[in-house]
Structure 1
């Protein structure tokens, strides 16, 4: 974690005079999924490929019903999305975006089993695949390579629990370079 903090401070100093967006952005989100992100800006910054890796189930749904049991923990998620961006106003400081993609999750769920007349929760590892949709707002302060964002979304699992729905979203910061 300390190396990441040093890298962010060095990056802020190095890139402090750059314009808002360039070709890439790296960032951090607090939310669902929480963790690190990488963006690649396309088509004059109007479209984006975004990849996220981090925790799943920490903010919403740490304990939630799932299949024949329930989640009681935090898992891991990786997703990729294609986003469309639009300027709001003439200053170029505020953008909205929306998009769709796929997500892979790994999480342990607990299923009740009757063993010798006693109900015991059996933990089962679970790898899942589904679709994700996101909408958000992003603000670019004057002269800074940073952007601040907030977003909401929804994960709809397809395998193994068809249409298991899980809210997503959060707030974070991106370094654009």
Structure 2
């Protein structure tokens, strides 16, 4: 997993250092990374005047605790996650360099679950739930990248209904 983070970070850093794009854009694709819960690679597709689809692929459970009560047992590890949101966004400034957004979607997680019935052994727990997010994205003038800060929540539907978790993150995206 560390190698994936290093590769993604290196690729983004290389793009930022070698790019000669004049203006940041929000009307195409963007690729970057997100630090938070979940953490990992982030892909966003902007379309229409104020819509986008945001996809996060990475880890889940590292920020708010690897040892956490869950259902009748506990989580004791970081897991993998896939999170997607349909986003609405709008400009806060006339130059459109600061945009706010919110969206709704879903999240799929896979973590090691330690139920009491297995006496210290684990099973892989696949969980599915709904999630919502809100944030702000800043597009520096004449730069091909943007910074974002966001917060939201996750409500699990399958494995442990109504299990809730806070989703927060900050990151950097290269826009092309």
Q: TM-score, normalised by structure 2?
A: 0.90
Instruction: Name the residue aligned to 1:164.
Output: 163
Q: Structure 1 residues 28, 121: closer, same or farther in 2, change over 3 A?
A: same
Q: Structure 1 residues 133, 15: closer, same or farther in 2, change over 3 A?
A: farther
Whole-Å separation in 2 of the counterparts to 1:110 and 1:15: 51
Structure 1 residue 63: Cα displacement: 1.6
Whole-Å separation in 2 of the counterparts to 1:26 and 1:138: 14
List runs of 5+ in structure 2 lacking aligned partners. none
List runs of 5+ in structure 1 lacking aligned partners. 115-119
| CA offsets 1:100-151 (integer angstroms, 9 cap, x no match) | 001110001111238xxxxx32312101111010000111111101101110
Q: Aligned-residue CA RMSD in angstroms? A: 1.7
Stretch moving more, 105-114 or 55-64: 105-114
1:23 paired to 2:28 = yes
The one of 108, 116, 131 equivalent to 1:104 is: 108
| CA offsets 1:38-70 (integer angstroms, 9 cap, x no match) | 1111113x1001111000001013221101011
**CA contact 2:27–2:47 (8 Å) conserved in 1:** no
Instruction: Name the residue aligned to 2:135.
Output: 136
Instruction: Name the residue aligned to 1:81.
Output: 85
Structure with a larger share of its residues in strand: 1
1:32 paired to 2:37 = yes
Structure 1 residue 8: Cα displacement: 2.2
Structure 1 residue 5: Cα displacement: 4.5
- The structure with the larger Rg is 1
